[in-house]
Amino acid sequence: MSITSWVRSLPGRALKGLRAHTAPTRQGLPPKLPRHVALIMDGNGRWAQKRGLPRSAGHAAGVEALRDIIRACDDWGIEVLSIYAFSTENWGRPQGEVNTLMDLLQRNLLGELEEMAGKNVRIRILGDVSGLPAPQRAAVETAVARTRDNTGLMFNIAVNYGGKDELLRAARLLMDRAAAGEMTSADLTEQAFASYLYTSGQPDVDLLIRTSGEMRTSNFLPWQSAYAELVFNPMLWPDYDREAFREDLWTYAERDRRFGKVKKP
Ligand code: FPP
Protein backbone atom coordinates (compact mmCIF):
# COMPACT_ATOMS: atom_id res chain seq x y z
CA MET A 1 0.00 0.00 0.00
CA SER A 2 1.38 3.46 -0.89
CA ILE A 3 1.87 6.10 1.82
CA THR A 4 -0.85 8.20 0.21
CA SER A 5 -3.43 5.40 0.27
CA TRP A 6 -2.44 4.50 3.81
CA VAL A 7 -2.89 8.12 4.94
CA ARG A 8 -6.22 8.30 3.11
CA SER A 9 -7.43 5.13 4.85
CA LEU A 10 -7.03 6.80 8.27
CA PRO A 11 -10.12 8.21 9.99
CA GLY A 12 -10.74 11.95 9.59
CA ARG A 13 -9.30 13.05 12.91
CA ALA A 14 -6.08 11.07 12.57
CA LEU A 15 -5.69 12.57 9.12
CA LYS A 16 -5.65 16.13 10.40
CA GLY A 17 -2.12 17.51 10.23
CA LEU A 18 -0.70 14.25 9.01
CA ARG A 19 -0.71 14.85 5.30
CA ALA A 20 1.66 17.80 5.63
CA HIS A 21 4.20 15.65 7.46
CA THR A 22 4.02 12.83 4.96
CA ALA A 23 4.49 15.24 2.03
CA PRO A 24 5.87 13.19 -0.81
CA THR A 25 9.30 14.04 -2.14
CA ARG A 26 8.57 12.07 -5.33
CA GLN A 27 7.62 13.61 -8.67
CA GLY A 28 10.20 16.39 -8.33
CA LEU A 29 8.32 18.06 -5.50
CA PRO A 30 9.99 20.03 -2.72
CA PRO A 31 10.06 18.27 0.66
CA LYS A 32 7.97 21.02 2.29
CA LEU A 33 4.51 21.51 0.79
CA PRO A 34 1.89 24.09 1.79
CA ARG A 35 -1.14 22.70 3.61
CA HIS A 36 -3.49 25.27 2.06
CA VAL A 37 -3.12 26.70 -1.45
CA ALA A 38 -5.34 29.56 -2.68
CA LEU A 39 -5.63 30.30 -6.39
CA ILE A 40 -6.66 33.44 -8.25
CA MET A 41 -7.10 32.14 -11.79
CA ASP A 42 -6.58 35.34 -13.74
CA GLY A 43 -6.03 35.90 -17.46
CA ASN A 44 -8.78 33.86 -19.14
CA GLY A 45 -10.02 36.87 -21.10
CA ARG A 46 -6.53 37.85 -22.32
CA TRP A 47 -5.78 34.25 -23.27
CA ALA A 48 -8.89 34.21 -25.47
CA GLN A 49 -8.24 37.67 -26.91
CA LYS A 50 -4.71 36.67 -27.98
CA ARG A 51 -6.30 33.88 -30.03
CA GLY A 52 -9.14 35.95 -31.45
CA LEU A 53 -11.64 33.90 -29.43
CA PRO A 54 -14.58 35.04 -27.29
CA ARG A 55 -13.91 35.46 -23.57
CA SER A 56 -16.15 32.46 -22.90
CA ALA A 57 -13.56 30.26 -24.67
CA GLY A 58 -10.95 31.56 -22.21
CA HIS A 59 -13.11 30.58 -19.26
CA ALA A 60 -13.78 27.13 -20.75
CA ALA A 61 -10.01 26.63 -21.21
CA GLY A 62 -9.57 27.88 -17.65
CA VAL A 63 -11.76 25.07 -16.37
CA GLU A 64 -9.50 22.52 -18.12
CA ALA A 65 -6.43 24.03 -16.42
CA LEU A 66 -8.24 23.90 -13.10
CA ARG A 67 -9.05 20.21 -13.56
CA ASP A 68 -5.32 19.44 -13.87
CA ILE A 69 -4.49 21.44 -10.73
CA ILE A 70 -7.20 19.75 -8.64
CA ARG A 71 -5.80 16.37 -9.68
CA ALA A 72 -2.26 17.52 -8.86
CA CYS A 73 -3.36 18.67 -5.38
CA ASP A 74 -5.00 15.31 -4.83
CA ASP A 75 -1.99 13.36 -6.15
CA TRP A 76 0.50 15.39 -4.16
CA GLY A 77 -1.29 15.41 -0.82
CA ILE A 78 -2.17 19.11 -0.53
CA GLU A 79 -4.76 19.37 2.25
CA VAL A 80 -6.82 22.37 1.11
CA LEU A 81 -7.25 24.06 -2.29
CA SER A 82 -9.28 27.27 -2.46
CA ILE A 83 -10.22 28.80 -5.80
CA TYR A 84 -11.70 32.20 -6.57
CA ALA A 85 -14.39 31.13 -9.04
CA PHE A 86 -16.70 34.15 -8.87
CA SER A 87 -16.41 37.25 -6.71
CA THR A 88 -19.20 39.54 -5.49
CA GLU A 89 -17.74 42.11 -7.93
CA ASN A 90 -17.99 39.72 -10.92
CA TRP A 91 -21.77 40.35 -11.12
CA GLY A 92 -20.76 43.65 -12.73
CA ARG A 93 -19.44 41.88 -15.87
CA PRO A 94 -21.59 41.81 -19.03
CA GLN A 95 -24.62 39.55 -18.51
CA GLY A 96 -23.47 37.10 -21.20
CA GLU A 97 -20.16 36.54 -19.41
CA VAL A 98 -21.88 36.13 -16.04
CA ASN A 99 -24.13 33.51 -17.65
CA THR A 100 -21.10 31.70 -19.10
CA LEU A 101 -19.36 31.57 -15.73
CA MET A 102 -22.53 30.39 -13.95
CA ASP A 103 -23.11 27.77 -16.61
CA LEU A 104 -19.51 26.49 -16.36
CA LEU A 105 -19.80 26.28 -12.60
CA GLN A 106 -23.01 24.28 -12.70
CA ARG A 107 -22.04 21.92 -15.53
CA ASN A 108 -18.55 21.16 -14.30
CA LEU A 109 -19.49 20.80 -10.68
CA LEU A 110 -22.15 18.24 -11.53
CA GLY A 111 -20.14 16.68 -14.37
CA GLU A 112 -17.04 16.12 -12.22
CA LEU A 113 -18.87 15.32 -9.01
CA GLU A 114 -18.65 11.53 -9.19
CA GLU A 115 -14.92 11.59 -9.98
CA MET A 116 -14.25 14.02 -7.16
CA ALA A 117 -16.44 12.10 -4.72
CA GLY A 118 -14.64 8.89 -5.74
CA LYS A 119 -11.31 10.54 -5.00
CA ASN A 120 -12.47 11.39 -1.49
CA VAL A 121 -12.52 15.15 -2.29
CA ARG A 122 -14.66 17.25 0.03
CA ILE A 123 -16.27 20.31 -1.55
CA ARG A 124 -17.05 23.40 0.46
CA ILE A 125 -18.49 26.68 -0.80
CA LEU A 126 -17.08 29.99 0.40
CA GLY A 127 -19.54 32.80 -0.20
CA ASP A 128 -23.20 33.70 -0.06
CA VAL A 129 -24.99 30.79 -1.73
CA SER A 130 -28.36 32.47 -1.20
CA GLY A 131 -27.38 35.07 -3.82
CA LEU A 132 -26.90 32.48 -6.60
CA PRO A 133 -29.44 31.67 -9.32
CA ALA A 134 -31.54 28.60 -8.42
CA PRO A 135 -29.75 26.03 -10.70
CA GLN A 136 -26.29 27.01 -9.41
CA ARG A 137 -27.52 27.01 -5.85
CA ALA A 138 -28.93 23.51 -6.32
CA ALA A 139 -25.67 22.33 -7.94
CA VAL A 140 -23.44 23.60 -5.14
CA GLU A 141 -25.77 22.22 -2.48
CA THR A 142 -25.74 18.82 -4.19
CA ALA A 143 -21.93 18.86 -4.43
CA VAL A 144 -21.48 19.83 -0.78
CA ALA A 145 -23.96 17.22 0.45
CA ARG A 146 -22.54 14.46 -1.77
CA THR A 147 -18.97 14.96 -0.48
CA ARG A 148 -19.74 15.95 3.12
CA ASP A 149 -18.23 12.83 4.72
CA ASN A 150 -15.12 12.71 2.56
CA THR A 151 -11.74 13.12 4.24
CA GLY A 152 -9.32 13.78 1.36
CA LEU A 153 -8.53 17.05 -0.39
CA MET A 154 -10.70 19.92 0.86
CA PHE A 155 -11.76 21.84 -2.24
CA ASN A 156 -13.10 25.30 -1.40
CA ILE A 157 -14.95 27.04 -4.22
CA ALA A 158 -15.36 30.76 -3.61
CA VAL A 159 -18.48 31.81 -5.44
CA ASN A 160 -20.37 35.03 -4.81
CA TYR A 161 -17.49 35.61 -2.40
CA GLY A 162 -15.93 38.82 -1.13
CA GLY A 163 -13.40 38.97 1.70
CA LYS A 164 -14.83 42.12 3.28
CA ASP A 165 -18.31 40.59 3.03
CA GLU A 166 -17.06 37.49 4.83
CA LEU A 167 -15.60 39.57 7.66
CA LEU A 168 -18.77 41.64 8.00
CA ARG A 169 -20.87 38.49 8.08
CA ALA A 170 -18.72 37.11 10.90
CA ALA A 171 -18.94 40.40 12.82
CA ARG A 172 -22.74 40.44 12.47
CA LEU A 173 -23.08 36.85 13.69
CA LEU A 174 -20.86 37.67 16.67
CA MET A 175 -22.86 40.82 17.49
CA ASP A 176 -26.06 38.76 17.43
CA ARG A 177 -24.56 36.29 19.85
CA ALA A 178 -23.40 39.07 22.14
CA ALA A 179 -26.84 40.74 21.98
CA ALA A 180 -28.40 37.41 22.96
CA GLY A 181 -26.09 37.36 26.00
CA GLU A 182 -24.26 34.29 24.73
CA MET A 183 -20.81 35.89 24.73
CA THR A 184 -18.92 39.02 25.71
CA SER A 185 -16.08 40.87 23.99
CA ALA A 186 -13.64 39.05 26.29
CA ASP A 187 -14.60 35.75 24.60
CA LEU A 188 -13.58 37.05 21.19
CA THR A 189 -10.22 35.44 20.49
CA GLU A 190 -8.58 35.09 17.08
CA GLN A 191 -9.62 31.46 17.04
CA ALA A 192 -13.23 32.29 17.98
CA PHE A 193 -13.43 34.88 15.20
CA ALA A 194 -11.99 32.46 12.63
CA SER A 195 -14.69 29.94 13.50
CA TYR A 196 -17.27 32.36 12.03
CA LEU A 197 -15.57 32.45 8.65
CA TYR A 198 -16.52 30.19 5.74
CA THR A 199 -13.22 28.34 6.22
CA SER A 200 -13.98 27.45 9.84
CA GLY A 201 -11.82 24.55 11.03
CA GLN A 202 -9.36 24.78 8.15
CA PRO A 203 -5.70 25.82 8.28
CA ASP A 204 -4.84 29.34 7.09
CA VAL A 205 -3.61 29.85 3.54
CA ASP A 206 0.12 29.09 3.22
CA LEU A 207 0.52 29.91 -0.46
CA LEU A 208 -1.59 32.23 -2.60
CA ILE A 209 -0.93 32.08 -6.33
CA ARG A 210 -2.27 34.61 -8.81
CA THR A 211 -1.66 34.16 -12.50
CA SER A 212 -1.46 36.70 -15.35
CA GLY A 213 1.08 39.00 -13.70
CA GLU A 214 -1.44 41.10 -11.73
CA MET A 215 -0.05 41.75 -8.26
CA ARG A 216 -2.97 42.10 -5.89
CA THR A 217 -5.15 39.79 -3.85
CA SER A 218 -8.50 41.36 -4.82
CA ASN A 219 -10.52 40.74 -1.66
CA PHE A 220 -9.74 37.00 -1.62
CA LEU A 221 -9.42 35.40 1.82
CA PRO A 222 -7.94 38.50 3.55
CA TRP A 223 -8.06 37.01 7.06
CA GLN A 224 -6.88 33.55 6.06
CA SER A 225 -4.02 34.89 3.91
CA ALA A 226 -2.59 37.28 6.51
CA TYR A 227 0.69 35.32 6.56
CA ALA A 228 0.44 33.59 3.20
CA GLU A 229 3.37 33.58 0.82
CA LEU A 230 2.30 35.35 -2.37
CA VAL A 231 3.38 34.09 -5.78
CA PHE A 232 2.48 36.16 -8.83
CA ASN A 233 2.95 33.99 -11.87
CA PRO A 234 3.01 35.81 -15.26
CA MET A 235 1.31 32.91 -17.10
CA LEU A 236 -2.29 33.35 -18.21
CA TRP A 237 -4.51 30.94 -16.28
CA PRO A 238 -5.49 28.60 -19.18
CA ASP A 239 -1.75 27.98 -19.82
CA TYR A 240 -1.11 27.08 -16.19
CA ASP A 241 -0.49 23.39 -15.56
CA ARG A 242 0.99 21.04 -12.99
CA GLU A 243 4.53 21.84 -14.18
CA ALA A 244 3.95 25.53 -13.46
CA PHE A 245 2.35 24.57 -10.15
CA ARG A 246 5.37 22.44 -9.24
CA GLU A 247 7.62 25.45 -9.94
CA ASP A 248 5.47 27.66 -7.71
CA LEU A 249 5.62 25.04 -4.96
CA TRP A 250 9.42 25.22 -5.16
CA THR A 251 9.27 29.02 -4.93
CA TYR A 252 7.14 28.59 -1.81
CA ALA A 253 9.49 26.00 -0.29
CA GLU A 254 12.48 28.31 -0.78
CA ARG A 255 10.83 31.19 1.07
CA ASP A 256 11.85 31.86 4.65
CA ARG A 257 8.62 32.03 6.67
CA ARG A 258 9.16 33.73 10.03
CA PHE A 259 5.61 34.81 10.96
CA GLY A 260 6.94 38.10 12.37
CA LYS A 261 9.57 36.38 14.51
CA VAL A 262 13.33 36.18 14.01
CA LYS A 263 15.06 33.15 12.65
CA LYS A 264 16.46 30.72 15.22
CA PRO A 265 20.30 30.84 15.25
C1 FPP B 1 -10.36 35.69 -14.38
O2 FPP B 1 -10.02 35.88 -15.73
C3 FPP B 1 -11.18 34.51 -14.20
C4 FPP B 1 -12.44 34.49 -13.67
C5 FPP B 1 -13.17 35.69 -13.22
C6 FPP B 1 -13.20 33.24 -13.54
C7 FPP B 1 -12.41 32.01 -13.25
C8 FPP B 1 -13.37 30.90 -13.23
C9 FPP B 1 -13.18 29.69 -13.79
C10 FPP B 1 -11.92 29.27 -14.46
C11 FPP B 1 -14.31 28.74 -13.73
C12 FPP B 1 -14.43 28.10 -12.38
C13 FPP B 1 -15.42 27.08 -12.50
C14 FPP B 1 -15.58 25.97 -11.76
C15 FPP B 1 -16.01 24.77 -12.44
C16 FPP B 1 -15.40 25.87 -10.30
P17 FPP B 1 -10.45 37.25 -16.43
O18 FPP B 1 -11.73 37.01 -17.14
O19 FPP B 1 -10.50 38.35 -15.42
O20 FPP B 1 -9.26 37.44 -17.44
P21 FPP B 1 -8.68 38.82 -17.95
O22 FPP B 1 -8.12 39.54 -16.75
O23 FPP B 1 -7.61 38.39 -18.89
O24 FPP B 1 -9.80 39.56 -18.62
Question: 168-194: per-residue pLDDT in tens?
Answer: 999 999 999 999 999 999 999 999 999
pLDDT exceeds 90 at position 57: yes
> Would the pLDDT of 15 be above 50?
no
Check pLDDT > 80 for residue 12: no
User: For residue 59, how far is its CA from the centre of ligand 1 (angstroms)?
Assistant: 5
Quick one: which atom of ligand 1 is closest to the CA of 55?
18
CATH number of this structure's domain 31-253, picked from the four choices 3.40.50.300, 1.10.730.10, 3.40.1180.10, 1.10.3720.10: 3.40.1180.10
Atom of ligand 1 nearest to the CA of 112: 15
63 lines ligand 1 (CB under 6 A): yes
CA gap 242, 240 in Å, rounded = 7
Q: CA 43, CA 9: separation in Å to the nearest integer?
A: 38
The domain limits of the chain are 31-253
Nearest alpha carbon, ligand 1 atom 14: 105
User: Is position 42 annotated as part of the catalytic site?
Assistant: yes
The reply to whether ligand 1 has any atom less than 6 angstroms from the CB of 80 is no
Q: Kindly report the average pLDDT of the chain as a whole number.
A: 91
Give SS3 for 72: helix
233 is catalytic: no
State how far the Cα of 179 lies from the Cα of 173, in Å rounded to an integer: 10
- For residue 263, what pLDDT band results from cuts at 50, 70 and 90? confident
Span 124-174, pLDDT tens digits: 999 999 999 999 999 999 999 999 999 999 999 999 999 999 999 999 999
The helix/strand count (H/E) of the chain reads as: 10, 6
Residues 185-205 as b/e (b if ≥16 CB within 10 A, e otherwise) read eeeeeeeeebebbbbeebbbb
Q: Is the pTM value of this prediction over 0.75? A: yes
Q: For residue 122, how far is its CA from the centre of ligand 1 (angstroms)?
A: 22
Cβ 125 vs Cβ 157: under 8 Å = yes
The predicted pLDDT at position 26 comes to 67
